[in-house]
Chain A
């Protein structure tokens, strides 16, 4: 499933070259040989930008991962740190500097931004003067030509739990860079409180840019984009259901079972006994591999495998529903075998030469095939366990009925009773030591995902008795400190305590304090951050159970899903269509959201002109042209059931600098721009990316996903979990 709609002037991968150039000039700013010390959160992303050989060319002799123990750099004089602007990391670096010798030269690059906060911490620690502090502006990294990521950790928690909106600012800077390259998005639409804040920030940044550059209207950098028709911002708080579900695409499952970190999966060599060679060309020279090798002397047998579109086999299966992966892999094996066999048919010298020419590619393909067969086998075993299917059935049952059976409820008891509080969870609280166990461990992640799903779908029918029982079960099973975890989940609205649902504590206090603020301060001048309390609950829903309303209206559950030959995005969860992507389909008037009976009439009213009398399904050509056309018009009932502000901003201005109305923009967009940027604030899943790719194909339009980071259910929930030790 690659993109068929491709535009030459939209080369997302050029971002990598830009980032690489900037990185190299940072490296060159330090004289002579130097050692790199990388924040573990950055090693993955950085290895995406530059490989080890380039680092070496620019004087990097050793790479370390940032750790409490200062690195042994020997005779190397220059130490160059790369770290996220987190205070904890600043303290670690400060300790290194204090412990190090004065003969060393320390410099620190904050990524993606040099903050006053970090400078203050360094100053408090008394090392600011001994350290050259700079900023390496790594914002959006092109993981694929249709996928950009800021690779930030835990943004959802920062936004909704801690009220730290730094990531919005980083995202805004990233978007500004994109707009610098491709022109301004004529229109920004979205949903969610932080989506609104991002849109506001972008508006202000644009005004600042044009006011500091008044000739803007004539300069090309500030022109309207001709490749992007708009940007769609989806706040994760609007759709918390999707990431909690078990992803059923191949890439999604690899992420669930093994964990994928910045496009790499880390495997034990045990698992890779015969596919060891496979990784060599793919992972060959990444910077982090070297870093990991240097740091993880304890586990030298681990292998990092690159999972990206340069691996043609992976590219063919990544977005497939797992149900079809096995048969395709065996078909590929047979084909490969046949190609190998063709050497016997080669008679003439030319034929032999042509075969030998193909040989290298064949071998790479062969190794890749081995890797994926081995990965798929492990996943297959996992999917065949009772446990996996119990969990899946509970998910499906909640998604399609909003309730689960008694037996399924009882299954949760077993999970609590046989809890494993120390289980490693891939991609979160620890690396897998070896092959993932056949049955997924009863980690708190697994339990909380189900609890939260239950709470979200049950809505007001979530019984106090059940919640109280679960509260105690969870604390007894995983430890008392998870009282904090549960509070966190309630705060962000993933778990809605029935008491608070009936006008109790959390929700209403938030509301009243917002009112207090609104009454007390001058809201209009203080900005949206001051005037609203960002929330994941719909502010003024017309239905008691919003999700069940949305299920019907947006056709979230598709009962005759075609897993192997998908015609609808619901294939990524074998029946459930991600709410986030359905919202995009609303914006682009995709027929998939009009097939439910209740939506048919809505559609007819939306269609302009003579077609209005015709209530049958719309002609495909009218709809599947792709791109955001009418915006949110006609979706008021849906928007009311979703949390947060509704965003609709036009950036298109005419020559005099006046913004045009959205209607005018829509008219002007008649000349079709070939792409739309879909920005997920707070993370997106591989299934959502896969769903966008399907839409790209169906609409012959490029949907480019941008996200603060790639998440799965475990990493999504992990940031909200109180860890057992400091």
Chain B
């Protein structure tokens, strides 16, 4: 029986072990990587190769000499081919969705998906004129450098807003970025090697880090953003903190050779790939050297570095403590004892039982260690051995929660499956768990691996909606059969998935010419709102309007309205809008808010006369030129007169026009006075306030001011004017319709108590005493009270007055009235 040990792949670097594990023998036979520009995606993603037109061609047949970008799996299988239009690509890289971002020299950017059509945008004129030389990428953004030294960045390629970050015109020997999620400012920053120093550039400005060991041929920032590795052109390699204050490692690499590639292995070690060797530089300046036949391409992963060249693909990573505990030679740990005991049992050795007994309380810990070691073990046989050990140990325990073991088995099965040659996605369990499960599904879909994706979803008990949608879309795109047949095929699969969204599928059907299919599919969509834009693009306007309204989202209704407005003749548009009350009202509101002249035509066409007139009225609210105002309002009046239901409004408009004319006249008569814009009541009051009572009387007649109102206005105005004679005349002319109380209240309001007293005497018997009391006329109040024989009131007056004589008199009166105590 052979015992597998992984230690053969271990390499010691001070007290730490690194393991270089061979993943694949590359499938791409006879490919000279030197002829290509390479972009490899992390998380075991695809590798894109582009003919490097700066390299001279070797003579001889080569299958990959056309101008397409060829995409390979990590195991070297050709999985895709991206045709591009021959523009020179300045830089290209995979983003976190495994889409290839290509930045062309002229500043245009294209994003390619492996299975879905991509998108494109431009970096703007400045990039176009100068030309893009190079780019640095992060998850969803990148920085581009132009030939004239401008730095332009895009934060999110899915909502591209290219912005200028800064400019550096001098010679640049190398540069890199600190992506936003790693920088202190949470915005992208740039490190640029210029002369002997490094410049740190961000949106705010440029900072010189004042170094003297440059120029540097390579700069790279660690995955946690704390450290930077600098390779100087003289062959010196330094690791310093990102603020350039502390130095950690410093190594002199013999030759002044420019590194082919550089990548961080974890956050404390760096792998540098040279022409004939790859160097692992540890945190304390010591290093491991791996000789190679040709330079390695490096792919930084979460827990290590993948290195590949034309021939092989390897994974270099730090050996975990758990693996060390099990496998390190000469180390006796509970885990290694447990592992050995299983071997002993297989060998029918009596030692096994005693080993387990010796472990005692350490057994659970040993089991956990074996499980953890299995999770970071790339070799399937060893994984199995470790898991078997754990399972064996478990049997000796009364209580052990096996969930962890079950989970690890699940994850390892998936990871192992992904890593198989034909799938070619070599990921570690740690990498697998660091990403949401949906992302892995998306990666498989990207490669059209629907079967595998479905199996994975079922195995993990996760919803497989996305898989079905993607499958249906792919089916439609690749299909040549008719709508009906396609519908049947799609529904046969999708019917069994409740609540699945049909919008994306319908959209694909629509764009690929399957209109009828699109409409049929859309009917199954549970989200009303999502259908609307698609229905519109399919020319199904009236259904779109209904769906928008049904969604309860006014904004969607606006979406449809605007579309119709653009697409239709105005007259037809009005007809469609007016058919739906909801749409009509929203359109009206938009027009009113925007002060749009279109509304007038709409009302006209709809025979909405009162609204037409109101619109004119509102439009003229800020106008003060009487001539223009009257002319405009007459138009409104004409419209109103045609509407039988607007009798009151017609009358009011008529009166208003008349009022404006009168007010204009008044302004002519009384120079310097403003009348236009006042209300009827204000106009009357103003005439009175100026003492022009005749004019006020005439207005009363002209505008049919009711008697009572006229009295109120007049009394108020006269009191304000302190025209007591006129007030008296008004009071005496006849019994005022608003009563004398109004006179009293107005006088009291103006604090004119003497005048008030005059009218109190005319008020109802019952009110007088209280009113006198209110203005402090105690004598008069007392008289009224006596006349009314109101003892209670007399007592209140007695209590309130300060006048001793009056108090005495009241006392006498109370006694006489028989109210004494």
Contact = CB atoms under 8 A, between A and B. Distances in A.
Contact of B653 (A28, A86, A212, A480): A480
A214 interface: yes
The number of chain A residues touching the other chain, given as a range, is 35 or more
Nearest to A422: B682
A471 interface: yes
Interface string B511-539: 00000000000000011100000000000
A726 B615 CA distance: 12
A475 interface: yes
A161 to B, nearest CB: 9
Given A163-B585, A169-B554, A413 B549 contact: no
Contact of B551 (A204, A478, A505): A204
Contacts of A530: 546, 549-550, 580-582
Given A31-B187, A132-B161, A476 B589 contact: no
- Which of B498, B528, B589, B708 has the most chain A CB within a 10 Å cutoff? B589
Contact of B622 (A476, A487, A517, A725): A725
Contact of B679 (A31, A477, A726): A477
B754 to A, nearest CB: 21
Given A472-B652, A477-B679, A530-B549, A32 B622 contact: no
A197 interface: yes
A527 B543 CA distance: 12
A417 B708 contact: yes
Contact of A168 (B202, B204, B552, B559): B552
B712 A200 contact: no
Interface stretch (A48-56, A66-74, A116-124, A251-259): A116-124
A416 B652 contact: no
Given A211-B500, A418-B716, A505 B708 contact: no
A86 B554 CA distance: 13
Contacts of A210: 499
B558 interface: yes
A207 B652 contact: no
Contact of A31 (B204, B551, B558, B595): B204
Given A214-B499, A529-B549, A413 B709 contact: yes
A478 B716 CA distance: 17
A32 B708 CA distance: 67
A197 B585 contact: no
Interface in A517-539: 517, 521, 525-527, 529-530, 533
B589 A164 contact: yes
A484 B581 contact: no
Contacts of B652: 471-472, 475, 480, 483
B42 to A, nearest CB: 26
Contacts, number: 186
Contacts of A479: 679
B559 A162 contact: no
Interface in B754-770: none
Nearest to A89: B593
A410 B739 CA distance: 11
Interface string A188-214: 000000000100110010011011111
Interface string B702-714: 0111101101110
Contacts of A517: 581
Interface residues of B, number: 71
B568 interface: no
Contacts of B704: 472
Interface in A406-426: 410, 413-414, 416-419, 421
Nearest to B614: A484
B709 A417 contact: yes
Given A31-B187, A483-B652, A164 B708 contact: no
Interface in A470-494: 471-473, 475-481, 483-484, 487
B185 interface: yes
A204 B618 CA distance: 39
B554 A525 contact: no
Contact of B526 (A208, A480, A484): A208
A466 B336 CA distance: 101
A481 B713 CA distance: 21
A88 interface: yes
A513 interface: yes
Contacts of B614: 483-484, 487
Contact of B501 (A91, A117, A164, A211): A211
B145 to A, nearest CB: 20
Contact of B610 (A410, A414, A487): A487
Interface string B533-572: 0000000000000100111111110110010000000000
Contacts of B203: 31-32
B703 A208 contact: no
Interface string A110-137: 0001011100110000000000100000
A533 B585 CA distance: 12
A210 B499 CA distance: 8
B617 A481 contact: yes
B441 to A, nearest CB: 14
A200 B552 contact: yes
A28 B738 CA distance: 67
Q: From DSSP, what is the main secondary structure of chain A's interface residues?
A: helix
A468 interface: yes
B657 to A, nearest CB: 9
Given A417-B708, A475-B652, A484 B551 contact: no
B552 A116 contact: no
Given A421-B682, A525-B546, A530-B580, A164 B204 contact: no
A524 B19 CA distance: 67
Given A166-B554, A484-B618, A477 B681 contact: yes
Contact of A724 (B500, B554, B621): B621
A655 interface: no
A421 B682 CA distance: 9
A3 B424 CA distance: 63
A87 interface: yes
Contacts of B705: 476
Given A210-B499, A483-B652, A529-B582, A87 B590 contact: yes
Interface in B158-215: 161, 185-187, 202-204
B773 interface: no
Given A210-B499, A414-B738, A526 B622 contact: no
Nearest to A479: B679
A329 B203 CA distance: 58
B679 A478 contact: yes
A165 interface: yes
Contact of A121 (B465, B594, B617): B594
Given A132-B161, A483-B652, A725 B552 contact: no
Contacts of A722: 618
B555 A116 contact: yes
A465 interface: no
A505 B590 CA distance: 26
29 contacts: A31-B203, A86-B593, A87-B590, A87-B593, A116-B558, A164-B585, A165-B554, A169-B553, A208-B526, A211-B498, A212-B499, A386-B745, A413-B738, A414-B712, A416-B681, A417-B681, A417-B711, A418-B712, A421-B679, A468-B648, A476-B680, A480-B617, A483-B649, A484-B618, A487-B610, A517-B581, A526-B549, A530-B582, A725-B621
Across chains A and B, which 10 residue pairs bring their CB atoms closest together, nearest first?
A211-B499, A163-B585, A417-B712, A527-B550, A476-B680, A201-B552, A480-B656, A87-B593, A417-B709, A166-B554
Interface of A: 28, 31-32, 86-88, 91, 113, 115-117, 120-121, 132, 162-166, 168-169, 172, 197, 200-201, 204, 207-208, 210-215, 386, 410, 413-414, 416-419, 421, 468-469, 471-473, 475-481, 483-484, 487, 505, 513, 517, 521, 525-527, 529-530, 533, 722-726
Given A120-B562, A468-B648, A484-B618, 14 more contacts: A120-B558, A162-B585, A163-B586, A168-B552, A169-B554, A201-B552, A210-B499, A214-B499, A416-B681, A475-B655, A476-B681, A477-B680, A478-B679, A505-B645
